[in-house]
Amino acid sequence: MKRLYHVISGLAGGVLLLAGCEGDTIVLDADPVAPEATTLSVTSDNPLYSAQEGRRTLRFKTPGGEVVFSVETNAETWSYTNDNEAWLAVEQNEYDGTLTLRAQRNEEASEPAAEVVVTAGEGSGARTWTVEVVQNAAGTPEIVATPNRVLIPACGSLLSASTEIACNYEDWEFTQSCDWMLVERQQDKLVFTADENTSSESRQVEVKLTAGYGDRSISETVVVEQDGRAFVRALPEALSFDYRGGTKTIAVSSNFKWNHAADAKWFAVTRENDVLTVTVDPYDGEQGRTENISLTTGVGENTASLEVAITQMGVNDKYLRWKFEIPSDNATATAMIAGEVDAEINWGDGTVETVTTANPTHVYATAGSYDVEVSGKVTALKSAGEKSYVVEVLQWGQTGLTSMEDAFNGCMNLKSIPSDTAHSFDGVTTFNEAFYDCQTLGAIPAGLFDNATRATDFTSTFHFCHSIPEIPE
């Protein structure tokens, strides 16, 4: 064996290893990391709640009702206290992180009050949130909308909602300024009719109700919200695997809760929050296989769906295969096929096309890892375009290769190549600078050139391949 020896030296900080007399290893750790500070956020979008100048106040009207708060914290658990349980009902739901406050109709001439305190964390690191809760006394001049917040779908056959108005003055009025919604009064009711929302973003408007005059005027606010058009997206939009199988992830985004389903028996899907992990079994079949993961989201008539293709290539010596690692969305990759080209190329993202020209290109909509497969006639391999995307050659194939000159020249992220097990190099005459400057190529597989009996030019084939530890004989 001819060997290339590389010496790498460096210092590592943070941990020191010392050998004791008895052969034990003593580990001296660096300073311990301080625990993460407890965070706590309690919010509500109900108009009855006000948080101004550091004071948080929830004022129920005489009929009572309920207000929901969202609780977000990095602590494992959180709790609450309520100093007036006889009047105010409080319900905690740790599963969805909500705290619901309820009050019944007040028939008394006095204003009941309570203080609700939410606590997250323990000891000196605990965080608290306090709200003062009061309710109007019976007979207080007021105008009440039930409900005071309404939701309209983005699309469908029913794009309207209504609220009942109760007022202890003789008459009341409303004002609003909105170009996508019609507001109509029907006796003691307001009816809201919206246009279709073609955007994925929700939208809302406040409708103000007033009654009385001067210092005896009263008001109420009704919040009307319209959902955005449902969408579900996957990043990447397709996954490809070679015959060895493996594990990859899909990040899913949506403006509603979403679900997934897959019937395939050769891969498994697990979900954690908004990430799907796909694990594919090894495969010994010759033909590739494809199944979909179905993503669905939305409510009622406002729904969306997406099919994410999971593709696995078979074991077939005739295919030329390599792996692209695409670092960003909408990136253009160039295939290294050249010479005489009359082939079919599967780009690994669901796109399959026939190509007849050298170095065809393809735009990948989303970043990710893609296995590319080529079948047909390709007489040369020659790198072009953005060369850093190629990270692995999986199989040389049977495409009629005659030249490997500059095949992967400058592909600095190419980490591994296979041996020639399918007589792919029988007709190749040159390997001139084939792997020139492939700085991360980790090894030259044994028997790589055993079938390259016609090759006469190996000039600088592995020049500047600094990561190769040994050269086979």
Per-residue pLDDT 10s for the chain (473 aa) are: 333 322 222 323 333 333 443 444 444 444 555 568 999 999 998 989 998 877 899 999 999 999 999 999 999 899 999 999 999 999 999 888 999 999 999 999 999 999 999 999 988 889 999 999 999 998 888 999 999 999 999 999 999 999 999 998 878 999 888 899 999 999 999 999 999 999 999 999 999 999 988 877 899 999 999 999 999 999 888 888 888 899 999 999 999 999 999 999 999 999 999 999 999 999 998 888 899 999 999 999 999 999 999 988 888 889 999 999 999 999 999 999 999 999 999 999 889 999 999 999 999 998 989 999 999 999 999 999 999 999 999 999 999 999 999 999 999 999 999 999 889 999 999 999 999 999 999 999 988 999 999 999 999 999 999 999 877 76
Separation CA 112–CA 137 (nearest Å) = 8
Where do the structural domains in the chain lie, given as residue ranges?
40-135, 143-226, 230-315, 316-473
Give Cα separations from 371 to 332, 366, 399, 408 (angstroms): 15, 14, 18, 17
Superfamily of domain 143-226, CATH level 4: Immunoglobulins (2.60.40.10)
- Do the domains 143-226 and 40-135 match in fold? yes
What amino acid occupies position 442?
Answer: G
Which residues pair with residue 320 across a beta bridge?
374
Contact 50, 137 (CB under 8 A): no
Give the residue from 380, 381, 392, 400 showing the smallest Cα distance to 441.
392
Which residues pair with residue 204 across a beta bridge?
225
DSSP state of 266: S
Strands (E), 139-288: 143-146, 149-152, 160-167, 173-175, 181-185, 189-194, 203-211, 218-226, 232-235, 238-241, 246-254, 258-261, 267-272, 275-280
Cβ-in-10-Å burial (0-12, 13-18, 19+) of 239 comes to buried
- The CATH architecture assigned to 230-315 reads Sandwich (2.60)
Pull the structure tokens for residue 46.
């109900």
- Residue 241 dihedral angles phi and psi, to the nearest 5°: -130, 150
Is the domain covering 40-135 a CATH 2.60.40.10 domain? yes
Pull the structure tokens for residue 191.
């009816």
Separation CA 235–CA 256 (nearest Å) = 17
Give Cα separations from 347 to 163, 178, 188, 323 (angstroms): 54, 48, 62, 10
pTM score of the predicted model = 0.64
Pull the structure tokens for residue 260.
């997934």
Separation CA 376–CA 400 (nearest Å) = 9
Contact 210, 219 (CB under 8 A): yes
Contact 170, 144 (CB under 8 A): no
Separation CA 12–CA 16 (nearest Å) = 8
